Amino acid sequence: MCGILAVFGLSESSVGKRKEGLRLSKLLRHRGPDWNGIHCAKNCLLAHERLAINGLNSGAQPICSKQEDISLSINGEIYNYIELKDELIAQDERVKDDFTTDSDCEVILHLYKKYGKDFLKEKFVNGMFAFALYDETEDEYVIARDPVGIIPLYMGWSSDGSIWFGSELKAIQDNCDHFEIFPPGHYYVGRSVRSPIGNKLESYYTEPWFVDLNRLPSISFDKLELRNQLTESVRRHLLSDVPYGVLLSGGLDSSLIASIACREYKKIGNNDIIRSFCIGLEGSPDIAAAEKVARHIGSRHYSFTFTVQQGLDALMDVIYHVETFDVTTVRASTPMFLLARRVKATGCKMVLSGEGADEVFAGYLYFHKAPNAGELHKETVRKIKSLQKHDCLRANKSMMAWGVEARVPFLDREFLEYAMNLDPEEKMCNGKIEKYILREAFNDPENPYLPDDILWRQKEQFSDGVGYSWIDALKDIAEENVSDLQMKFAESRFAVNPPVTKEAYMYREIFSKHFPSPSAAKTVPFGKSIACSTPEAIAWDASFQNAADPSGRAIAGVHSVAYKKT
């Protein structure tokens, strides 16, 4: 995981912009504290801040081809790079000598050489990534982002005609008149020297479940197949040359990932014990549950606590790093930001996390209100598409603020394409606890993955699970610091996406100090939300219509209600 910056179509030679490029790249150094590099060619510039996870000896970037005509700056991990590399070599043995690093990401450069700019349409690339590639011979550049937006990427346009791409807003906002989120599952092709050919933004991820909301999947639930599919995903995500661990909140999703990872860690011959990490307020439900799971799976566990005041003290930095004022995201990002700092202090540079399970398996509490399987499936697809602005953004930027990479096995491309083709009727609650099929897949009395009360523990949002007083304190401090008069004129003060609660106003004020442009405000999701629902799902239940609090506790008749297992 790293930070990238790329600029194309500069009005002057890129050599003259090198100093400025280095300054801006340095704004991303928290994402990649291990090394940095910059490549200038014609009127374009590629910069890279490296967090070394794989290919420690020769994986520095930008990576240049052996002929030095193609350069690549990439933030990500390619989990099937060995298969892709072997396939390229099988087609032409000479390719073997063209690889110049031991990085898993270099295969992207060679896929481009073999298949051209549309290679992401041709080949199944399984990974989390955002990259900028420049072919000097053809004067062609290709920018791309992974299918669901696990890795952040922004694009912007300058008045001098140049186009900018960066891992975070802070690296491009000073030079761009307008900027926006680069869409997941897309690639952008252009020429650095202005050309009548023009530029092209095109989707490469066109799986039927993703593009056709009205298509109803039909694969039947098979307990062992679901278990095997998730296990294989976790195994792929253990690719690392540095110490790693697991984030363990004590909820179902992170606990399953931790349990599987612990088993796989032992299988690959590690003599050490996998590390697990949790954070919460003193006495929080997450800490107690996480410690129970850690004892069960045999991890080396670290429980960290924070105080409400420490969380409040961090808010300014959290919003600067996470680049949002979305209430749910800020609430959850703060403890995760504090946890990342503690994780880094243990010497761990990569962690596995449980993001994505609630979207894939309809795990949020409001899914109990889904009227039918078709509506439930549509909502899960909408939720996965919005992850880039919520949970993926939080997990990536909160952890990378301290140079820790977060990997998310539930959003593995191969696993997604299995799980999102399951019959959505299987995901309906119908009086059962949410995510029933996921729980049942790992319900193994002979060799239990988790303690029974953890396997069947009801959903808690992360910001709730760290301790309810965290959210209550945020509301209280906002009530003290934001006046009724300020709320009355909120729309005048913030014309784009005005805040509707005092807590939202507090975050928006901090955000606007870091990112004053209206373009920045437009990158943040806006609208009424109930427990992370989309606007379409609010219509499911009359009680959702006037709810302003996005906490899971706001779901009347669902939270803290026991649901039967079968």
Please enumerate, by residue number, every residue annotated as part of a binding site for L-glutamine.
104
> What does the alpha-carbon distance between residue 209 and residue 415 come to, in Å, rounded to a whole number?
13
φ, ψ dihedrals at 146, nearest 5°: -60, 165
In this structure, what DSSP letter does residue 93 have? G
Q: Where are the beta strands (DSSP E) in 367-520?
A: 405-407
Helix boundaries (H) for 459-501: 462-465, 468-481, 484-488, 490-493
Residue 139 corresponds to which tokens in the numbers above? 């004067």
Contact between residue 88 and residue 107 where contact means Cβ atoms under 8 Å apart = yes
Catalytic-labelled residue, pool 2, 40, 44, 64: 2
Q: How far is CA 449 from the centre of its chain?
A: 26
The residues with which 361 forms a beta bridge, in sequence order, are: none
Side by side, which strands form the sheet with 127-135?
63-64, 70-78, 127-135, 140-145, 186-190, 200-203
Contacts of 154 (CB under 8 A, 6+ apart): 165, 166, 167, 168, 169, 172, 179, 180, 181, 182, 523
Q: Is 475 helix (H, G, I), strand (E, B) or coil?
A: helix
- For 67, other C-beta atoms within 10 Å of its C-beta total 10
Ordered DSSP codes for 99-149: --S--GGGHHHHHHHHH-TTHHHHS---EEEEEEEEETTTTEEEEEE-TT-
Please give the annotated binding residues for ATP, written as ranges.
Answer: 247, 279, 353-354
Strands of the 44-50 sheet, one edge to the other: 35-41, 44-50, 2-8, 163-166, 154-157, 178-181
Q: Are 141 and 192 in contact (CB under 8 A)?
A: yes
Strands of the sheet with 350-352, listed across from one edge:
300-305, 275-280, 244-247, 350-352, 405-407
Count the alpha carbons within 13 Å of 431 in the hemisphere toward its beta carbon. 2
Coil, helix or strand for 533? coil
DSSP 389: G
3-state helix/strand/coil string of 165-185: EECCHHHCCCCCCEEEECCCC
| Nearest CA among 431, 393, 429 for reference residue 532 | 393
Active site residue 392: no
Distance from chain centroid for Cα 457: 24
Look at the alpha carbons of 505, 507, 513, 514 in this order and tell me if their dihedral is positive or negative. negative
What CA–CA distance (Å, rounded) separates 414 from 419? 9
Q: At what angle do helices 327-345 and 391-400 cross, to 10 degrees?
A: 30
Tell me the catalytic residues. Answer: 2
